[in-house]
Amino acid sequence: MEDAEIKSLLERMLKLSEENNKMLHTMRRSARWGTFFRIVYWFVILGGLAFSYYFIQPYLTALLEAYQQIQGSISQIQEQKNSLPDVTKLLESLRQ
């Protein structure tokens, strides 16, 4: 090989390696931005859930208390129903 061929091959290799270096830097930068946005994405998702729970929690507490009161009222009604005398016996006695 001649010196001119070697020089042209070296210049070509240098140009290719510079292009590869630029592509690698671009890929690394893209990967970093992707990681950053992935972290922001999860932060928004989890932060939104935490904020929603904090905002909705008083309503859930009130709803749970109302449900418990209704349950207590139903159980009181059932107890009163059980404490009443048997109506069928009363009706039979009235028929006679």
Residue 80's pLDDT is 79
Q: What is the pLDDT of residue 20?
A: 97
Alpha carbon of residue 96 to chain centroid: 69
pLDDT value of residue 2: 87
Q: What is the pLDDT of residue 92?
A: 76
SS3 content of the chain, % helix, strand, coil (to 5): 95, 0, 5
Which residues of the chain fall short of a pLDDT of 70? 1, 84-85, 87, 96
